[in-house]
Structure 1
Amino acid sequence: MLRNRSLPESVVYDILANSRRRETIRHLTDTAGGRTVSLRKLSEAIATDETGQSPPPRPCRESVYNSLHQTHLPKLAELGIVEYNLEARTVSVRNSAREVDQYLALLSPSGLTWGEYYRTLGIVSLLAVVTSLAEIPLVDSVDPLLWASGFLVAFALSVTYQLWSVRWYLRQRFL
């Protein structure tokens, strides 16, 4: 999967074992785009994700803020995943976070792994083409070539989305 890892796999799994650490990495790499974020904004974003309420309730915001400040950000900073300025209470992602984030990128937006997603899409496309060729009512009203073409477009769009979601890794690896 990844070569030249600086973090052992057991450490990566330990990092990802906590949902607040996962959300911190996800927020900093996806939403913040690598920019420096205040601890307050980061804790609000994570509390909003946890509660589904915007703005999140004050006790949840405080809980997230304190756990990030006292536990999670110092741990991530010690491992070189984030840059955490204790005095300014700001945090930014470091390049080594890409290594951890790669484990998060294995899931498609639907929650399936990309392998499961592509297998499902392949089976559905095969069934659509075969039922169209077998002249099953409703499905046979669409030409099998059109079914196949439509699913090829779906595969192409899916691959494009998947590659776009890990573009930082590809850029770092091949440029």
Structure 2
Amino acid sequence: MMATADEREDGAAGEAAAGDPASDGAPREAHGEGAGESGEPTADRTGGEDATPTEPPSLSYDDCFDLLSNHRRRYALHYLQQCGQEVALGELTDQVAAWENGVDVNAVSPAQRKRVYTSLQQVHLPRMDDLDVVAFDEEGRVVLGPAVDDLDVYLEVVREDDVPWSAFYLSLAVVNAALVGSVLLGVPGLAAVPEVGWMLFVLTTFLVAALAHVYLARTEMRLGRGDRPPDRRSA
């Protein structure tokens, strides 16, 4: 069976950390600001006092889908948006590991914590830092970056016994079309209600469905809203 994108990405971090005895708690190596790929200092992203103002960074669609395709990145962003302030890497690790394993923060095992810590430190946070979605420094402090606004989207999470909204709207349209067709054909029992009444009924069903969709999209299905990430609320 082929490995998923999450497994390949997180597995690479695990292999890289296998021979690193400090990977379970040591601060990360310098990354992003202040250090380039060769280890040499680079210019500060924010510039000095004379730096020319620039527009906020913008993510491409590919970047957005790539970042949100990994559950650890989604969980990290969810927690950072909940907090709304700087968070220590250790605290972020504990919460992501708890959500990932479906346990309380206090019940996270050392092995579970180490796996998440290593992948966040070596893969996910550097990736998001490169795109200005978060700012991650060598002291292990994490805070949301300016590009996070481009990820202000909701994730449509569907349980096994539910249907996606697209299928729901299609089903609603089919039912209403059949109803209107029956009225136009003069099916007994339906003619007692005026045609305008049926038209209002059809419009009302779509209006109620749309309002429910908007409410859920802005509350239950969006990163940073609710106690747990959207894809963990059915767990």
TM-score with structure 1 setting the length: 0.62
The alignment status of 1:62 with 2:117, answered yes or no, reads no
1:75: how far off? 2.7
More helix by percentage: 1
How far apart, CA to CA, are the structure 2 residues paired with 1:119 and 1:60? Answer: 37
- Between the aligned partners of 1:81 and 1:24, the Cα distance in structure 2 is 11
Deviation of 1:60 after TM superposition, in Å, equals 0.8
Residue 90 of structure 1: CA displacement? 2.0
Matched residues, percent identical? 25
Q: Counterparts of 1:127 and 1:163 in 2: how far apart (Å)? A: 27
1:27 corresponding residue in structure 2: 79
Report what 1:92 is aligned to: 143
Check the 8 A contact 1:125/1:148 in 2, yes or no. no
1:127 equivalent to 2:179? Answer no
Residue 96 of structure 1, CA deviation: 0.2
1:118-162 Cα deviation digits (max 9, x unpaired): 4523523652685596689xxxxxx96667535522312312443
Task: Look up the SS of the partner of 2:146 in the other structure.
Answer: coil
The count of aligned residue pairs is 147
Quickly say closer, same or farther: Cα 1:125–1:12, change in 2 above 3 A.
Answer: closer
Are the structure 2 counterparts of residues 92 and 159 from structure 1 closer, same or farther at C-alpha, using a change threshold of 3 Å?
A: same
Partners of 1:36 and 1:90 within 8 A in 2: yes
Which of structures 1 and 2 has the bigger CA Rg?
Answer: 2
Amino acid at match of 1:94: G
8 Å CA contact retained: 2:87, 2:143:
yes
Deviations 1:49-73 (A, max 9, x none): 2111223222111211122123322
Q: 1:43 to 1:135 in 2, by over 3 A?
A: farther
Task: Tell me if structure 2 keeps the 8 A contact 1:129–1:148.
Answer: no
Gaps of 5+ in 2: 1-55, 190-196, 223-235
The correspondence for 2:91, drawn from 41, 45, 63, is 41
Task: Give distance in 1, aligned partners of 2:117 and 2:76.
Answer: 11
Aligned to 2:80, the other structure's residue is in SS state helix
1:83 aligns to 2:131 (yes or no): no
Of stretches 4-13 and 152-161 in structure 1, the one that deviates more from structure 2 is: 4-13
2:143 counterpart SS class:
strand
Change (3 A) 1:146 1:41: farther
Other-structure match for 2:58: 6
1:43/1:68 contact within 8 Å kept: yes
Write out per-residue CA displacement over residues 42-99 of structure 1, whole angstroms, 9 at most, x where no aligned residue.
Answer: 1112112211122322211121112212332223223211111322x22111120222
* Residues 79 and 149 (structure 1), Cα distance of their counterparts in 2 relative to 1, 3 Å cut: closer
Amino acid in structure 1 at the alignment position of 2:212: L
Which has the bigger relative contact order, CA under 8 A and spacing at least 6? 2
> 2-side partners of 1:46 and 1:152: how far apart?
37
